[in-house]
């Protein structure tokens, strides 16, 4: 039996399967089964009021659990799927396990752009609820080994499908369209600049909701990612570095930086490269979470992260969002 066929059989039996996507590895379960979905929360140690993203092989496969989709969301789905975009859409009651939506009247939906994920979704013929496959408290996994590491003491998925390292490395952009406005709830590889290339989309239609979300203290289910929950930060204190000339490297420092710094340091500290070019952030995005995990396994005393890049444009906004969360104490 191929891995995909046996993984699909596990999913139909309401077991968990970790699978690769282009963003990060997901911890998948049958989104229509309460029994299956509860296993996700138990395995991750995830708060039960944090809703899950549902993965489908195409929009048509999601129609049975969705209310009528608004035209702008349809256009975005058509433009960016398969791809690193999650759309928050109105959900029909009673079809998905209630824990998937955490009591909201919407659900996050995504068509991942990864051959293994798509093959699995087509084979199992189930919508798959899948948060990032890390245990709560670890960065999202970007390799199969990261998933195995998080569950080495047990309680993890029945199976981990290995699709190699994730191409994007940061979780999907989460968007909600309300009254023809695009609210970016979590920045990702589908950036504001990408959205502005969509016919009919203008600057005033795009609202950056990610900052507001972080500052919100509302009770009840989070309306958007990251609103209530502590995000991953390495065990050691993190320093975000803009001017390396002002930093004195200490023993036990772990450096995550672009090549000029990595090369200048020679062997004076443990270090991971974010790539050679701070204007081309795809490599940096792909490597960030693995580097943060490595800082912990190397028992760094301090983690220095290079932030000499444009925080406002393209995937730089998503990279900055994750780095600033890793560097904040709450
Ligand atoms: O790239 C990704 O999105 C990965 C891969 C596996 O697809 N998944 C992922 O899932 O990052 P997770 O659970 O780690 O993050 C999903 C975020 C959560 O923070 C959740 O609050 C938000 O999406 N979310 C889910 N449903 C929502 C909804 N109805 N309204 C607002 N936010 C929602
Ligand atoms: Mg996550």
Which bound ligand lies closest to the C-alpha atom of 53? 1
Which bound ligand lies closest to the C-alpha atom of 26? 1
Angle at 93 between CA 88 and CA 94, to 5 degrees: 125
Q: Confirm or reject: Cβ of 50 under 6 Å from ligand 1.
A: yes
Q: Confirm or reject: Cβ of 318 under 6 Å from ligand 1.
A: no
Q: Which of 31, 15, 52, 17 is nearest to 131 (CA)?
A: 52
> Which tokens go with 208?
């950056």
In which band, very low, low, confident or very high, does the pLDDT at 215 lie, cut at 50, 70 and 90? very low
The pLDDT of residue 216 is 39
Q: Is the pLDDT of residue 137 over 60?
A: yes
The neighbour count for residue 112, using CB atoms within 10 Å, is 29
For residue 39, cis peptide bond before it (omega within 30 degrees of 0): no
Q: For 42-63, what is each residue's pLDDT tens digit? A: 999 988 889 999 999 999 999 9
In which band, very low, low, confident or very high, does the pLDDT at 113 lie, cut at 50, 70 and 90? very high
Residue 154, judged by CB atoms within 10 A of its CB (0-12, 13-18, 19+), counts as: exposed
At 174, which helix (H) or strand (E)?
Answer: strand 173-178
Question: Which mutation among 37, 108, 176, 182 tests ligand 1's pocket best, with the greatest number of atoms within 8 A of CB?
Answer: 108
Q: What is the dihedral of CA 36, 65, 81, 199, to 10 degrees?
A: -150
Q: Is the pLDDT of residue 228 over 70?
A: no
Nearest CA to ligand 1 atom 10: 131
The pLDDT of residue 214 is 38
Q: For 155-177, what is each residue's pLDDT tens digit? A: 999 999 999 999 999 999 999 99
> Which tokens go with 142?
């970007």
Q: Confirm or reject: Cβ of 66 under 6 Å from ligand 1.
A: no
> What spacing in Å lies between the alpha carbon of 175 and ligand 2's midpoint?
16
At 119, which helix (H) or strand (E)?
Answer: helix 115-124
Residue 288 · residue 219 · CB < 8 Å: no
The pLDDT of residue 329 is 52
Question: Which mutation among 37, 171, 175, 182 tests ligand 1's pocket best, with the greatest number of atoms within 8 A of CB?
Answer: 171
> Which tokens go with 177?
């369209």
When pLDDT is averaged across residues 204-223 and rounded to a whole number, the result is 61
Question: Which mutation among 16, 25, 51 tests ligand 1's pocket best, with the greatest number of atoms within 8 A of CB?
Answer: 51
When pLDDT is averaged across residues 315-327 and rounded to a whole number, the result is 94
Q: Is the pLDDT of residue 212 over 50?
A: no
The neighbour count for residue 69, using CB atoms within 10 Å, is 19
| Nearest atom (ligand 1) to Cα of 101 | 29
Q: Confirm or reject: Cβ of 134 under 6 Å from ligand 1.
A: no
Report yes or no on whether pTM surpasses 0.85: yes
When pLDDT is averaged across residues 316-323 and rounded to a whole number, the result is 96
Residue 113 · residue 79 · CB < 8 Å: no
The pLDDT of residue 319 is 97
In which band, very low, low, confident or very high, does the pLDDT at 210 lie, cut at 50, 70 and 90? confident
Q: For 54-93, what is each residue's pLDDT tens digit? A: 999 999 999 999 999 999 999 999 999 999 999 999 999 9
Q: Please report, in angstroms and rounded to a whole number, the separation of the first and last CA atoms in the chain.
A: 46
Q: Is the pLDDT of residue 308 over 70?
A: yes
| Nearest atom (ligand 1) to Cα of 229 | 19
Q: Is the pLDDT of residue 218 over 80?
A: no
Q: 85 CB contacts (<8 Å, ≥6 apart)?
A: 76, 77, 110, 172, 173, 175, 188, 190
- Rounded to the nearest integer, the mean pLDDT of the chain is 92
Could you tell me the CA-to-CA distances from 228 to 271, 327, 328 in Å, in that order?
Answer: 32, 17, 14
Q: Confirm or reject: Cβ of 20 under 6 Å from ligand 1.
A: no
When pLDDT is averaged across residues 245-249 and rounded to a whole number, the result is 92
In which band, very low, low, confident or very high, does the pLDDT at 211 lie, cut at 50, 70 and 90? low
When pLDDT is averaged across residues 18-31 and rounded to a whole number, the result is 98
Q: Confirm or reject: Cβ of 138 under 6 Å from ligand 1.
A: no
> What spacing in Å lies between the alpha carbon of 265 and ligand 1's midpoint?
38
The pLDDT of residue 265 is 81
The pLDDT of residue 132 is 97
């Amino acid at each position: 039996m191929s891995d995909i066929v046996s993984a699909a059989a596990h999913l139909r039996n309401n077991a968990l399967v970790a699978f690769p996507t282009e963003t990060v590895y997901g911890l998948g379960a049958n989104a229509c089964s309460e029994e299956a979905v509860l296993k996700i929360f138990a395995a991750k140690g995830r708060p039960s009021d944090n809703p899950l993203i549902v993965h489908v092989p195409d929009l048509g496969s999601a129609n049975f659990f969705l209310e009528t989709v608004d035209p702008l969301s349809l256009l975005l789905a058509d433009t960016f799927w398969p791809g690193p975009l999650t759309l928050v859409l109105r959900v029909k009651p009673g079809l998905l396990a209630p824990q998937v939506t955490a009591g909201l009247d919407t659900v996050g939906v995504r068509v991942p752009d990864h051959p293994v994920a798509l093959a699995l979704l087509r084979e199992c013929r189930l919508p798959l609820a899948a948060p990032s496959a890390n245990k709560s408290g670890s960065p999202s996994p970007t390799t199969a080994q990261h998933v195995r590491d998080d569950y080495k003491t047990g309680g993890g998925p029945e199976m981990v499908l290995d699709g190699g390292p994730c191409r994007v490395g940061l979780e999907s952009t989460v968007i909600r369209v309300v009254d023809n406005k695009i609210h970016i709830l979590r920045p990702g590889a589908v950036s504001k600049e990408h959205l502005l290339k969509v016919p009919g989309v203008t600057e005033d239609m795009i609202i950056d909701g990610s900052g507001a979300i972080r500052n919100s203290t509302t009770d009840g289910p989070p309306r958007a990612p990251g609103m209530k929950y502590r995000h991953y930060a390495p065990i050691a204190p993190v320093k975000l570095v803009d001017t390396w000339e002002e930093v004195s490297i200490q023993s036990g420092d772990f450096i995550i930086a672009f090549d000029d710094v990595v090369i200048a340091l020679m062997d004076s500290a443990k270090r991971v490269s974010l790539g050679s070019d701070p204007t081309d952030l795809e490599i940096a995005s792909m490597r960030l979470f693995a580097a943060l995990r490595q800082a912990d396994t190397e028992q760094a005393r301090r983690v220095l992260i290079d932030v000499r890049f444009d925080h406002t444009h393209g995937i730089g906004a998503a990279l900055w969002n994750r780095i600033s969360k890793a560097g904040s104490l709450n």
